[in-house]
Amino acid sequence: DEKKFSDKINIASTSGSSRISHSKEAIKASFLDSLFYGIGRVPALATPNDRYTALALTIRDRIFQQFILTTESISKQDARAVAYLSAEYLPGPHLANNLLNLEITAQTREAMEELGIELDDLIAIEEEPGLGNGGLGRLASCYLDSLATLGIPAIAYGIRYEFGIFDQVIKDGWQVELTDKWLHYGNPWEVVRPEIAYEVKFGGRTEHGADSNGKFQVTWVPGSEVKGTAYDTPILGYKGNGAVLRLWRAEAIESFDFAAFNLGDYYRAVEAKMLSENITKVLYPNDQAQGGKELRLKQQYFFVTCSLQDIIRLHLIQGRNLERLHEKFAIQLNDTHPAIAIAELMRLLVDVHQLDWAKAWHITQNCFAYTNHTLLPEALEKWSIPLFEKVLPRHLEIIYEINHRFLEEIRHQHSYNNAQIAGMSIIDESGERYIRMAHLATIGSHSVNGVSAMHSELLKKEVLHDFAGLWPDKFCNVTNGITPRRFLYLSNTPLAELISSYIGNGWITDLDQLRKLEPYADDVSFQNSWMEIKLNNKQHLAALLQKQTGIEIDPAMLFDIQAKRIHEYKRQHLKVLHILSVYLRLKKGELINFSPSAFIFAGKAAPGYIMAKLLIKLINSVADLVNQDTEVNDKMKVVFMPDFNVKNAQNLYPAADLSEQISMAGMEASGTGNMKFSLNGALTIGTLDGANVEIRQEVGEDNFFLFGLSVEQVQANKTAGYQPYDIYQQNQHLREVLDFIVSGALSQGDTQLFRPLYENLLYQDPFMLLADYQSYIDCQEQVHELWREPKEWARKSILNVARMGKFSSDRSIRDYSDLIWKVTPINKK
């Protein structure tokens, strides 16, 4: 019967149907159909959310139509596919982006207008999926956009957190976290696939012995089991191709409930269901510090085993041999969060599919590649052995076996000594015993990469030094990138259109073409249009900030923005020191040439990170003081934009004049916000850290404000015994600024509130703010000098954009494809 059905349905004829066409009339008809038949509403009773949902369904139909074509060509061509494993994604709102990628924004707007609906109102309603903390999750989503756009067969796996990253509100200057209920009104973009579900075991014990045929066999007798069900969100690339975001949701296994239920223990059955569902309840809101929480380990294993079981199923249903898995799938580990996949694939191949160890190891190593995103010691994941053994007893045995074989190899074939061996072991035995996930990922992968040139070098020099010595060819660099579709075309459409009117729109999929703007950098009329758009964007942001915070800023001011996670290494407090120095000097009647500036911050702090939360309070306290002081508030304003997420970010980048990238050198692996600002015409003030180094190389030294110590100087300072207190004593101006923080002037006379921050800077200053202070202040003077020359500023702004081609995520994905995955785009007919 199935055969007959599929024979009768011709995809081409479905896609040609008048309802699914891209015309305004068809969109209108589909919209009304979706409203009536999709959600059972008549227009008179439809709420705004009903209208949004109906439009989303209308667009989703058209995405699926594209998808079916992509899927068909993938299976016809038997192409190698990428499986991207990431515990985090930050896709941002889908609606506007999908309209843009389908190129149907204009006719959709008209269709809605004819129905008396404002498209922008519907776009504004969408709750974005906050399934990540920051850069790492957003990078995964940019990569998915590029995979789809380039037409590389790809499936991205992750976790369908019921509650994503918390919503941030500011109360009395402090961050308060609210639960993110992004699924509250449903999610029209996803499709549940109840038939794609896998069992996931936890705990229990292992049994070793012969099976009925006398073959040695390990059996894992679990303590509990849950089920992971697939939820698919189609991700459309620009003009056509598609990729899938497949997120797993944890559910109870029916039979477990029934057992208890039959015994009359209804409450135990319900409890089992609740406990099962807990696994995918909530995203851990820490950017880079891992707490060693059992539930977190369960989340990681849960999504990894579902994904690997799915990959194996997809491989086998094509009639392929399991021993060729690595020829058909390149599996990328986005940091160590999914690194347990190395042990899990070994388990699936050896215990479940009965392959011998050597064959399984060959497949495993050739499937996996690992991306490292940080050198911060507190972010390097490690699991205590007792905790790990409790959750994953069989995996502990497998990891011991992997480790044993690896250590034997380096001891005998490479004559490593005991100290080196202890340093490279997967097990850290220096105190309480831990599993080092970065070592597992490195040993089990054929490729290890960092995310900027500098970071990849430091990775080889420091964290994975001995491994780089052992396997130099395993290590490479892929500098991060961002999608120009969302972060220029969509979020800064007027600028995108201006660019296209001068150089055509080839840049959208070939960002290097922005170079064609260079000749116009000195063209006065182009400069004028350029700066006019910037001013409009600033007006728009000013209006939004006023609505969000009540603070009014003049769009003519220099918009100086720092937007990123709040973290000491990112040095938001260095920016605060600068702001206070400006404030104190203005009060003294100095700085007569200072150009009016709006200092804008945005970013979330991990709920348990006390110092980061105190920093937010400090910023808001400075804002209160400055904004109310009529002696200065026509020259400076300070605003903290609450709830930094993709939606708000899309309003920030286009409005920035100055981008703050001021982390201590050697700390930021890459950064991607730095790229988003620059692509929107902001000039960067920054240190030689992460991808800043490459941005400066590309845009030219003259078009980048550089300050601060280099990595080498940071190292030298540390070795010499860095004494921040000496700098405090020597620099009178800095002393005034620091003392002002604890004077009580910012805190209604309370001299204790900011004391921890103050003392940390004076006596430890682990991120060397004091060492970089004067250099930063001086550099800011240069910024203001240039701002007084609008033509020069405009020229540099244009050159920044013209030279950002390298930082397209399309380039990053091509690098991954060529260097690591060995995949090629499908040819869609």
Structure tokens at 87: 């515990």
Q: Which residue has the tokens 């899309």?
A: 650
For 99, residues 6+ apart whose C-beta sits below 8 A from its C-beta are 59, 105, 108
When asked if residue 424 is in the footprint of ligand OX2 (CB under 6 A), the reply is: no
Establish if 668 lies at the interface with ligand OX2 (CB under 6 A).
Answer: yes
| Residue 373 binds ligand OX2 (CB under 6 A) | yes
Under the binding rule (CB under 6 A), the answer on residue 87 touching ligand OX2 is: no
The Cβ of residue 515 has, within 10 Å, a number of other Cβ atoms equal to 14
Q: Which of residues 107-146 bind ligand OX2 (CB under 6 A)?
A: 134-136, 139
309 vs 562, beta carbon nearer ligand OX2:
562
User: Is the Cβ of residue 38 or residue 673 nearer to ligand OX2 in the bound state?
Assistant: 673
- The interface region with ligand OX2, picked from 536-544, 646-654, 668-676, 751-759 by CB under 6 A, is 668-676
Question: Of 676, 696, 803, 811, which residue is the catalytic one?
Answer: 676
Q: In this chain, which of 690, 708, 724, 805 binds ligand OX2, going by CB under 6 A?
A: 690
HSE on the CB side for 516, CA within 13 Å?
Answer: 15
CA–CA separation, 789 and 11 (whole Å) = 59
- Cα 678 to Cα 699: distance, rounded to the nearest angstrom: 9
The CA-based diameter of the chain, rounded to the nearest angstrom, is: 91
Residue with tokens 């480790």: 403
DSSP string, 706-765: E-S--HHHHHHHHHT---HHHHHHH-HHHHHHHHHHTSSTTTTT-SSTTHHHHHHHHHT-
Query: 305-344 mask for ligand OX2 (x: CB under 6 A)?
Result: ------------------------------x---------
Pick the closer one to ligand OX2 by CB: 139 or 695: 139
Minimum Å gap between C-beta 829 and ligand OX2 is 35
The strand pairing partners of 200, in sequence order, are 226
Residue 665 binds ligand OX2, judged by CB under 6 A:
no
Least distance CB 476 / ligand OX2 (angstroms): 15
User: Contact region for ligand OX2 (CB under 6 A) — 175-183, 220-228, 262-270, 663-671?
Assistant: 663-671
- Phi, psi dihedral angles at 205 (to 5 degrees): -145, 175
Beta pairing, strands 434-436 & 382-384: antiparallel
Nearer to ligand OX2, 143 or 773 (CB): 143
Among 424, 574, 579, 669, binds ligand OX2 (CB under 6 A): 669
The DSSP symbol for 181 reads -
193: alpha, beta or left, given left = phi > 0 and alpha = psi -120 to 50? beta
Residue 530 is given by DSSP the state H
If one asks whether residue 167 binds ligand OX2 (CB under 6 A), the answer comes out as no
Shortest Å distance, C-beta 372 to ligand OX2: 8
Active-site annotation holds for 676: yes
Contact flag: residue 694 with ligand OX2 (CB under 6 A): no
Shortest separation between residue 308's beta carbon and ligand OX2, angstroms? 22
Q: Would you call 565 a catalytic residue per the annotation?
A: yes
Q: Is the distance from CB of 246 to CB of 310 less than 8 angstroms? A: yes
Q: How many CB atoms lie within 10 A of CB 583?
A: 22
Instruction: Answer yes or no: are the C-beta atoms of 689 and 664 closer than 8 Å.
Output: yes
Residue 337 Cβ vs ligand OX2, minimum distance, rounded to whole Å:
8
Report the distance separating Cα 25 and Cα 74, nearest Å. 32
Q: Retrieve residue 217's tokens.
A: 């066999």
- Which position among 101, 229, 480, 780 is part of the footprint of ligand OX2 (CB under 6 A)? 480
How far is 570 from 671, CA to CA, in rounded Å? 10
Residue range at the interface with ligand OX2 (CB under 6 A); choices 18-26, 227-235, 490-498, 662-670: 662-670
Binding to ligand OX2 by residue 287, rule CB under 6 A? yes
Nearest approach in angstroms of CB 668 to ligand OX2 is 5
- How many chain residues bind ligand OX2 (CB under 6 A)? 18
- Is 570 annotated as catalytic? yes
Give yes or no: 588 in active site. Answer: no
Of 605 and 783, nearer to ligand OX2 (C-beta) is: 605
CB of residue 134 vs ligand OX2: minimum separation in angstroms?
6
Region near ligand OX2 per CB under 6 A, out of 14-22, 529-537, 666-674, 770-778: 666-674
* Other beta carbons within 10 Å of 431: 6
Strands 224-236 and 191-202: antiparallel
Q: Which of 570, 578, 604, 613 is catalytic?
A: 570
Nearer to ligand OX2, 480 or 581 (CB): 480
Of 54 and 561, nearer to ligand OX2 (C-beta) is 561
| Minimum CB distance to ligand OX2 smaller for 129 or for 481 | 481
379 part of the interface to ligand OX2, by CB under 6 A:
yes
3-state SS, residue 78? coil
Q: In angstroms, give the least distance from the CB of 124 to ligand OX2.
A: 28
Catalytic residue among 564, 578, 604, 696: 564
Pick the stretch among 371-379, 531-539, 747-755, 760-768 that binds ligand OX2 (CB under 6 A). Answer: 371-379
Q: Are 757 and 617 in contact (CB under 8 A)?
A: no
Contact 786, 796 (CB under 8 A): yes
- Enter the DSSP assignment of 366: H
Q: CB neighbours (10 Å) of residue 169? A: 13
Token digits of residue 690: 């992460």
Q: Which amino acid is at 746?
A: L
Identify the active-site residue in 672, 795, 796, 811.
672
Q: Does 672 bind ligand OX2 (CB under 6 A)?
A: yes
Q: Cα(150)–Cα(237) distance, rounded to whole angstroms?
A: 8
CB of 336 vs ligand OX2, minimal distance in Å = 8
Of 30, 98, 187, 374, the one binding ligand OX2 (CB under 6 A) is: 374
Q: Is 47 labeled as catalytic in the residue annotation?
A: no
Q: Which of 691, 692, 690, 727 lies closest to 706 in space, CA to CA?
A: 692
Bridge partners, 206 (sequence order) = 220
Q: Under the criterion CB under 6 A, does residue 741 sit at the interface with ligand OX2? A: no
* Three-class DSSP category at 62: helix
Q: Which of residues 528-587 bind ligand OX2 (CB under 6 A)?
A: none
Radius of gyration of the chain from its Cα atoms, rounded to whole angstroms:
28
**Distance set, CA 207 to CA 33, 211, 292, 345, 351 (Å):** 57, 11, 27, 19, 11
Cβ nearer to ligand OX2, comparing 134 with 708: 134
Active-site residue (options: 28, 138, 347, 373): 373
Q: Quick one: 200 or 459, whose CB is closer to ligand OX2? A: 459
Catalytic hit among 455, 565, 637, 696: 565
- Closer to ligand OX2 by CB, 650 or 672: give it: 672
Decide if 672 is catalytic: yes
Between 284 and 368, CB nearer to ligand OX2? 284
Q: Which of 34, 670, 678, 680 binds ligand OX2 (CB under 6 A)?
A: 670
Burial of 217 per CB tally in 10 Å (0-12, 13-18, 19+): middle
Catalytic residue list: 373, 564-565, 570, 672, 676
List interacting residues with ligand OX2 (CB under 6 A).
134-136, 139, 287-288, 335, 373-374, 379, 451, 480, 668-672, 690
